Amino acid sequence: MLVDPATGAPVPKNIEVARTAEEVGVELQLELTSCQVETSTGVHGDTADLLKELGQLRRQVADCAARNDARLLAVAVPPAVPEQFPVTDTPRYQRIAREFGMIAREQGLSGCHVHVAVPDRDVAVQVSNYLRPWLPVYLALTANSSVYRGAETGYASWRSILWRRWPSAGPPPYFDSLADFDAMVDMMLSSGSILDRKMVYWDVRPSESFPTVEVRVSDVPATVAETALLATLVRATAMTAMAAIDDGQPAPEVPAEVLRAAYWNAARSGLDGAGLDPLTRRVAPVRTLVAGLVDYTRPALDELGATAFVDDTLAAVLHRGNGARRQLAALRKRNEITDVTTELANATLEGCS
């Protein structure tokens, strides 16, 4: 998110910042609203390498933003916002704005997308089925949008609530096959609820651009360490799913309404309070649900050599709090929104080279 250094309000400077980044060899993607830029890492097999690149990218983009009188914040919604966000001036984004109206013009939401390589699209659909029950846990872990329009939202992830206004957002259905998936997407295209296949905004999906399964549920995490933690857990969950597929184990068919309830709990509570386990349909402390995810993926984490990183980083996040909790702590000190933007700016570059 690009914001005014003094007020924290979003500034429509994505094109300028992207041009500056290009001059120093960094490629940024433009998002729907002109106060946002997207960074993309390379493909990594090692968490330490991913962590290093994430830190370099954030530092470089923050410098490019500063050269254009803007401040870079890793935040899922800006704490101080205008009534509308200017839509980026590209033909596709302008068409989306015309078709979807205020949903598009109030976008300004930043998530984190994790891609994991899979053999083909059929496997991607099967892996998506396995990942569905864990999506609320990823959301709770990364929640980073508790302050919006200068006030507490009452949610750890307000972005998650706003994001689901899109007709194709949220958890996907359980799909019996790739043909089932494609038929659903074709229906959405014919109805006009999406304009192209890239508008399949489900929180886990086969990627349209890469041979991967793409997990899209999370707020952009506050720090690079939390981002690498998310990516490592997603990768380990996908590996666990592919092993189950090879063993002929069916994915659990969690009903949509159960997932909807679990999502609401995750968005509301973040890492604090209670959540709903979609597999047992029982309420449990969110920390217990996170521990369950780590236990579920531990064989894969051991295989990746990432167990110590996950255990240590998760312990630090649980002790200190994720971005949502730290935003609230900053706001409650003096009720000054500038304290929140300062906290976010510092977290954005924490651990960055």
SS3 of 84-129: CCCECCCHHHHHHHHHHCHHHHCCCCCEEEEEEECCCHHHHHHHHH
For the stretch 115-144, pLDDT in tens is 999 999 999 999 999 999 999 999 999 999
User: What is this structure's pTM?
Assistant: 0.96
Average pLDDT per block of 10 residues along the chain, 353 residues long: 92 96 95 94 96 97 98 95 80 95 91 98 98 98 96 98 97 97 98 97 96 98 98 99 96 97 98 96 97 98 98 98 98 96 97 87
160, two tokens: 């998650």
The CATH number of the domain holding residue 275 is 3.30.590.20
Same domain, 311 and 277: yes
Quick check: is 346 in a domain? no
170 — phi, psi (to 5°)?
A: 100, -170
Encoded tokens for 232? 């490592």
- Tell me which of 82, 108, 134 is where a domain ends: 108
Q: How far apart are the first and last CA of the chain?
A: 20
Q: Write down the pLDDT at residue 134.
A: 98
**How many structural domains are present in the chain?**
2
Q: How far apart are the C-alpha atoms of 235 and 237, rounded to whole Å? A: 5
**Does residue 342 form part of some domain?**
no
Q: From the CB of residue 45, how many other CB atoms can be counted at a distance below 10 Å? A: 9
Domain that holds residue 66: 1-108
Alpha helices in 168-306 (DSSP H): 178-191, 224-246, 256-269, 286-304
Under 8 Å between Cβ of 112 and 218: yes
Handedness of CA 101, 107, 108, 112 (dihedral sign): negative
Q: Is residue 152 part of a domain?
A: yes
The verdict on 281 and 248 lying in the same domain is yes
- Asked whether residue 158 is assigned to any structural domain, the reply reads yes
The pLDDT value given to residue 106? 86
SS3 40: coil
| Amino acid residing at 52 | K
pLDDT for the residue numbered 84: 64
Q: What is residue 274's predicted lDDT score, i.e. its pLDDT?
A: 96
| One domain for residues 241 and 206 | yes
Measure the CA–CA gap between 207 and 198, rounded to whole angstroms: 9
Q: What whole-number percentage of the chain has pLDDT above 90?
A: 95
- pLDDT tens across 304-346, in order? 999 999 999 999 999 999 999 999 999 999 999 999 999 999 9
Residue 189 lies in a domain: yes
In a domain, 348, yes or no: no
